[in-house]
Amino acid sequence: MKLILLGAPGAGKGTQAEKISEKLSIPVISTGNIIRESMKNGTEMGSKAKSYVDAGKLVPDEVVIGIIRERLANKDCENGFILDGFPRTIPQAEALDNMGIEIDTVLSIDVEDEKIVARMSGRRVCLDCGATYHLEYKKSKVEGICDFCGKELVLRKDDAPETVLDRLHVYHEQTEPLKEFYAAKGKLRTVKGCEEVKDTTAATFAALEI
Ligand code: ADP
Ligand code: ZN
């Protein structure tokens, strides 16, 4: 299954992507995680991306398209994959088409803007491995500490309330038109993001018939 997850920042794409990944044994490809990893490692791509990411803007299309092209060529993508955070613009979606990749389904997780803003303030990320948590909805076993690597959990710089509003604006302007793009191809399915992760997961599995 070749799947795209669409949704506003903080809609819960990453969380549901992990659930689908476990169920179907296919990898999650998160451009956000790949970019943050390069920023942490100070690679050339990372330093190019940093100013955009910190300001809540999109990284230029050609940069992310390059990342995805390389990543999808990996052997672990042979039996399918879940794209989380890509495509985010129409040109990115067209680039995917041009790579000859036939997407099976696009799942949009819809959550109202007001809920997003409230949620993001509770989101925490591991400084070291990039695992994400939420103070209310996805707690770590020990508060403030990553379950996987024991490192500190922090608020992502781009999750600060001012930046979240900018990112929502970018989402409505540039990413939301992808719903129409994929609906026109008959590929779009939609679920409503729920308060509880497990309810969203149930709705997600039902929508995907898995
Ligand atoms: P979110 O929590 O908003 O889903 P991500 O972790 O997916 O955030 O992405 C964080 C940031 O990384 C974005 O705000 C953007 O700057 C950059 N980014 C990630 N994916 C893309 C993409 N496909 N195109 C452009 N920029 C991207
Ligand atoms: Zn960690």
Nearest protein CA to atom 2 of ligand 1, as residue? 9
Q: What's the alpha-carbon Rg for the chain, to the nearest Å?
A: 16
Identify the residue whose C-alpha is closest to ligand 1 atom 1.
Answer: 9
Ligand 1 pocket check for 106: Cβ under 6 Å: no
Q: Which residue has the tokens 């400084």?
A: 127
Dist. CA 187 → ligand 2 center (Å):
35
> pLDDT band at residue 204, thresholds of 50, 70 and 90?
very high
Q: How far is 15 from 137, CA to CA, in rounded Å?
A: 11
Report which residue type is found at 32. G
The pLDDT of residue 140? 97
Question: How many angstroms separate the CA atoms of 73 and 35, rounded?
Answer: 18
Q: How many CB atoms lie within 10 A of CB 173?
A: 11
Check residue 70 and give its pLDDT. Answer: 95
Predicted confidence at residue 137, as pLDDT, reads 86
124 is annotated as an active-site residue? no
Order of strands across the sheet with 28-30?
28-30, 81-84, 2-6, 105-110, 188-192
Q: Highest mean pLDDT: which of 158-167, 175-184, 195-204? A: 175-184
pLDDT single digits (tens) 6-38: 999 989 999 999 999 999 999 999 999 999 999
| Chain center to CA of 95 | 18
pLDDT band at 196 (very low <50, low <70, confident <90, very high): confident
Position in ligand 1 atom list of the atom nearest CA 84:
7
Q: How far is the CA of 76 from the centre of ligand 1 (A)?
A: 22
Q: Which atom of ligand 1 is nearest to the CA of 14?
A: 4
Distance 49 CA to ligand 1 centre (A): 10
Mean pLDDT of the chain: 95
**Predicted TM-score (pTM) of this structure:** 0.92
Across 43-59, average pLDDT: 94
Tokens of 210: 């898995």
Give the residue whose CA is nearest to atom 9 of ligand 1. 32
Of all residues in the chain, the percent with pLDDT exceeding 70 is: 100
Concatenating the DSSP letter of every residue in 84-144 gives ES---SHHHHHHHHHTT----EEEEEE--HHHHHHHHTTEEEETTT--EEETTTB--SSTT
Q: Are 207 and 107 in contact (CB under 8 A)?
A: yes
User: Ligand 1 test: best mutation among 45, 59, 170, most atoms within 8 Å of CB?
Assistant: 59
Based on the residue annotation, tell me whether 167 is a catalytic residue of this protein: yes
Q: Can you give the pLDDT at residue 90?
A: 98
